[in-house]
Structure 1
Amino acid sequence: MACTKAFVTLGMFIIDEFSYTDLEGRTIKDSTFEIGGGGTYAAIGARIWLPPEQVGMIVDKGYDFPSDIERKLKVYGEEMWLCRPQIQAQTTRALNLYTGDHRGFQYLTPRIRITPRDLINTGLNRPRMLHFICSPVRASTILSEVRDIEGWSPLTIYEPIPDRCVPKELPALIVILPSIDILSPNAEEALSLLSMSYVQPISKSSIEEAANQFLQLGAKEAVIIRSGGLGAYVLTRKAGGKWIGAFWTQADALKIVDVTGAGNSFLGGLGAGLHLANGDVYEAVLHATVSASFVIEQSGLPALTSSDKGLIQWNNDSPSRRLEVLKRREQNE
């Protein structure tokens, strides 16, 4: 009998195309393709800490699913991926268009959404933690489905989708907050939802105020506001607020190549950390921070390698080593 997964995401698998132009629309860099999708990055963020049999997500394989991408996914562990053949549909694809400093995003194919019911009677059934990325309205539907599945009460990690982090979505968010164990927008998304004005760089005090407001509005257990180079602000009902710094700082700018997927991988690492640290949110955020540090070092997913002696490394480094470095740094703050 298969073991219960520790962490499963309802986020999608996407083949990302990246296009780079200047402000006049001239191509400045050849287009590239990468494995993408918020779900994929979240799963990898958890996989950095957990064996593949404890992590899971659904991959919808369209009739055009590239064989080289399938090979790349298998490197991380075949047990992670529940592949569903979509004979009549393409694999979900999206365009990331970089024009100067502006990033645009659009789907190139219809999306195939994943719901909790899709997990029933599969190896992903009833995981201990469930991660989802969507609008507050869709999150309400997901939570309703979860309640309808007998004998399942997962810890929920909710990541609001960026384009729905606007003031008109706040009432729908307030409705679901009491059912969300961990709410985690990024700083811009948090302030936008709450109609809080800000200028860049966003101040720590503004982020702390936003987290307090979400808790007052009914967030169940914890609010974690991901704040880029500032790190993450963690506020829990039981233990109060605390800042945890980013692993790579401004002094390490050359290490930061592409932040695509950093927030998603952070939350995957958070789920893994909660599992490993018996629910300690602050300890889990340290794991989350390390997961994000590996993802931003390159375009696409980090490299997993293992030696003949069973030593597993990511980008030729050890997650445990980075965790110890981060812990020492936090203790000295």
Structure 2
Amino acid sequence: MHFATLGMFIVDEFSILDEDGNPTGKTLAPQIGGGGTFSVIGCRVWLPPSEVGMIVDRGSDFPPSMESKLAEFGDEIWVYRNQPVGTTRAVNTYRGDHRSFDYITPRIRITPNDLQGTRLEKPTTLHFICSPSRASAIMSEVQQIPGWNPTVIYEPIPDRCVPDELEPLVKVLPLIQILSPNAEEALSLLSVPLPPTEKLIEKAALKFLELGVGPDGKGCVIIRSGSMGACVATKDRAPRWVPAFWTSKDEDKIIDVTGAGNSFLGGLAAGLLLEDGDIYKATFYASVTASFVIEQGGLPTISVVNGSTQWNGDSPERRLHELQTRQAELKD
């Protein structure tokens, strides 16, 4: 089994208000959410269900329509645990242009030990989204499981990407092979003023490497930077950029970026397997993956056409070739 996430499944609800905090009358139906869910779907874009998985805590209130939707991606992906306390739910509040996210039920956190005894036991790649302090606890648990040394992809949780969290982050970095904040999160952790620029992002990536990412400092930093692309930095090479598939020129294609970063990292994990560990080549898979997620609200659509799996009616391999060609032409 290649990829598992410790991220949660969440039922997302929505509250849409005007600038003054008054209801607009616009409503959205609850949607499948959770960073873990999006990361798994990102990996599933490239790999069969047998190689991908996550735990889903399912309460008696779990919507049957959502369970049917998840089954479309492959039943074996989802390891269900029935929970008497109900399914984790959160509300996304839109007040004008501002978005906030709040849990409305208790969170049921997933730990590495929860994977043991399931088909998700000892995946070769482990992904999680949390604070630096919890990341340390997770890695301590990983180290206590005999015979398991996964490639770790760590995504710092957005609201803990503040300067006070830099010290606990530094403590866990040597255990993390791949660190991937987004541009705003990276600069915030390092107390660098916004807005992000390519130069600032590259400096931030090099600073994280200097702080000791990965065993023996041989890890990787990928700073996800929206339409600017992704900055990939390792000790042995200067920072390199992988372009976004959809850029600021493709506004009609960019509908909702929710989950794009999570799916990017699931796609990255798949790319690492398919490209024999080449982190730069793998990031092209990640960029293509995110392109499918931002084309609509919620998860992309999977279908099989003439024996080939498509997402939103398009081929991931076609988009990968297009992105690789685009980058090669820029170099020329």
- TM-score scaled by structure 1? 0.96
Q: Does structure 1 residue 275 correspond to structure 2 residue 269? A: no
Cα deviation digits, residues 56-79 of structure 1 (max 9, x gap): 100000121111111000000011
**2:194 maps to which residue?**
198
**1:106 maps to which residue?**
102
**1:188 maps to which residue?**
184
Cα deviation digits, residues 221-268 of structure 1 (max 9, x gap): 100000011010000123331011110012211000000000000000
**1:142 maps to which residue?**
138
Taking the TM superposition and a 5 Å limit, the aligned residue runs for 1:62-73 are 62-73=59-70
Equivalences, count:
325
Q: Determine the C-alpha separation between the residues in 1 that align with 2:4 and 2:81.
A: 16
The CA deviation at 1:32 is: 2.5
Q: Is the 8 A contact 1:12 1:38 kept in 2?
A: yes
Cα deviation digits, residues 195-227 of structure 1 (max 9, x gap): 11123xx21101011101100000121000000
Q: Does structure 1 residue 323 correspond to structure 2 residue 320? A: yes
Q: Determine the C-alpha separation between the residues in 1 that align with 2:237 and 2:63.
A: 47
**2:234 maps to which residue?**
236
Q: Determine the C-alpha separation between the residues in 2 that align with 1:238 and 1:205.
A: 19
Determine which of 177, 197, 203 is the counterpart of 1:209: 203
Q: Determine the C-alpha separation between the residues in 2 that align with 1:31 and 1:320.
A: 33
Q: Determine the C-alpha separation between the residues in 2 that align with 1:47 and 1:204.
A: 30
Q: Does structure 1 residue 48 correspond to structure 2 residue 45? A: yes
Q: Determine the C-alpha separation between the residues in 2 that align with 1:32 and 1:99.
A: 17
Aligned residue identity for 2:204: A
Taking the TM superposition and a 5 Å limit, the aligned residue runs for 1:83-122 are 83-86=80-83, 88-122=84-118
Provide the secondary structure at the position in 2 that maps to 1:250: coil
Taking the TM superposition and a 5 Å limit, the aligned residue runs for 1:68-83 are 68-83=65-80
Q: Is the 8 A contact 1:19 1:32 kept in 2?
A: no
Q: Determine the C-alpha separation between the residues in 2 that align with 1:311 and 1:266.
A: 22
Q: Which stretch of structure 1 is more off in the superposition, 20-29 or 248-257?
A: 20-29
Point out where structure 1 has 5 or more consecutive residues left out of the alignment: none
**1:175 maps to which residue?**
171
Q: Determine the C-alpha separation between the residues in 2 that align with 1:27 and 1:310.
A: 46
Identity of aligned residues (%): 58
Q: Determine the C-alpha separation between the residues in 1 that align with 2:309 and 2:329.
A: 29
Q: Is the 8 A contact 1:182 1:224 kept in 2?
A: yes
The CA deviation at 1:312 is: 1.0
Q: Determine the C-alpha separation between the residues in 2 that align with 1:240 and 1:62.
A: 48
Aligned residue identity for 1:266: F
Provide the secondary structure at the position in 2 that maps to 1:234: strand
Aligned residue identity for 1:327: Q
Cα deviation digits, residues 90-129 of structure 1 (max 9, x gap): 1000001111110001001000000000011110000000
Taking the TM superposition and a 5 Å limit, the aligned residue runs for 1:212-223 are 212-220=206-214, 221-223=219-221
Point out where structure 2 has 5 or more consecutive residues left out of the alignment: none
Q: Determine the C-alpha separation between the residues in 2 that align with 1:238 and 1:48.
A: 30
Provide the secondary structure at the position in 2 that maps to 1:132: strand
Q: Is the 8 A contact 1:226 1:263 kept in 2?
A: yes
Q: Determine the C-alpha separation between the residues in 2 that align with 1:226 and 1:7.
A: 20
Q: Determine the C-alpha separation between the residues in 2 that align with 1:218 and 1:228.
A: 25
**1:260 maps to which residue?**
258
